[in-house]
Amino acid sequence: MSLVVVGRIAVSSALACALLSGCARFDDSASSPFTPEPTLHGADIGPSKPNQAPPSTTRPSGPCIDPDPAVVATCLDTTGGLVTIADGALVAERKTGRILKVAPDQPPTEIAQIDVDSSGDGGLSDLSLSPTYQEDGLLYAYITTGSDNRVVRIAQGGAPKDIVTGIPKGANGNHGAIDFSGKEMLVLTGDAGDPTSAAAPSSLAGKLLRVKSPSSGGSDTEVAASGIGTAGDVCRDSTDSIWITDRTPAEDRLQRLGADGALTTAWTWPDRPGVGGCAAAADGVAVSLAQGQALALAATDPNTHAVTAPPALLAQNKYGRLGGASLGADGNIWVSTVNKTDGQPGPFDDRVVRIPPTGGEGTGPD
């Protein structure tokens, strides 16, 4: 299916300053979005081992200073997705449209802000780095506007550029996600509150989209999978498996899109714990849970990629509702909390936290 993408995005004065006058600063020390052959169970993929907790530090007391050394950033507005970079992470604030750089022992730094419609579950949902981020500094964002959901590209010294527009918008079901598989961009769209649209070939709602050349403006977009409910996240592992999380009225799901284009369900949660962000490696997939208030770690078979045992629960009830997830170069899973969405935030919410991928308890049979 070929789609011609048109339209423009309204940009706040803060972002206009950042992008037009060059006052935004993107971290050019970041590595590519994917670490070669990462694992979630015991291999070294960075300066520290995954089975080690973040090192303890002497932390001052005061407002917005969480005493937990695993907490990277505090007192954020309602978060969206996040993506790790070499020395920290970029995190989205869903309602404000701000993009913040966070790093251990440093205050958050705003690098850009986009005008978004945050009604329902809309707003700034997710972020992804260009595969050549070190060279081009390009950042992609999934957003809700007054008329639709869309993907835009943000570059230093230039206005944001529409990549995919016309994704249906509803009273809910607007959350979406983006990632890259090589130079190809993957876009996960929600069903906009209408499950029938997820099955309709003519609609961009409830789909996994492949954008072959995002640098060309998304004119070569095609549907890779249909039937997505409320979108959670899309993430890729080093075996070229693409993992999708979504929520349906009957269950929450972790699905896998194989290299052959077949979409299979790897695990389901009938109790619907609110699956969100995912971080995938060759030996497992970590999934943030909102209502479940934990990070679910699903081990995968190295040959079949199947999930054959109940996912372990990490940091259960420790940080509250978890939203975004990203595999860090330090071997930890970086997550963002979404405690402000239920009106019961703690004194340091919302936060970005590093969780070591070890331990946990099974959740019971599938």
pLDDT digits (tens, 9 = 90+) for 196-217: 999 999 999 999 999 998 877 6
Structural domain range at position 260: 13-54+67-362
Q: d(Cα 339, Cα 222) in Å, to the nearest integer?
A: 35
What's the pTM value of the predicted model, to 2 decimals?
0.84
**2 within a domain of the structure (yes/no):** no
Q: Is residue 294 part of a domain?
A: yes
Q: Is the pLDDT of residue 19 over 60?
A: no
Mean pLDDT for the chain overall: 84
Is residue 86, in this structure, part of any structural domain at all? yes
- Position 63 scores a pLDDT of 79
5 lies in some domain = no
Q: Indicate whether 17 pLDDT > 70.
A: no
- Residue 130 domain-assigned? yes
317-339 as b/e: b if 16+ CB within 10 A: eebbbbbbbbbbbbbbbbbbbbb
Residue 62 counted as domain residue? no
Q: Count the domains in the chain.
A: 1
| CATH code for position 157 | 2.120.10.30
Cα–Cα distance, 136 to 2 (Å, whole number):
27
Render the burial of 175-213: b for 16+ CB within 10 Å, e for the rest.
bbbbbbbeebbbbbbbbbbbbebbeeeebbbbbbbbbee
pLDDT band at residue 16 under the 50/70/90 scheme: very low
Q: Report if residue 8 sits inside a domain.
A: no
Domain membership of residue 305 (yes or no) is yes
Query: pLDDT per residue over 237-271, tens digit each?
Result: 988 899 999 999 999 999 999 988 899 999 999 99
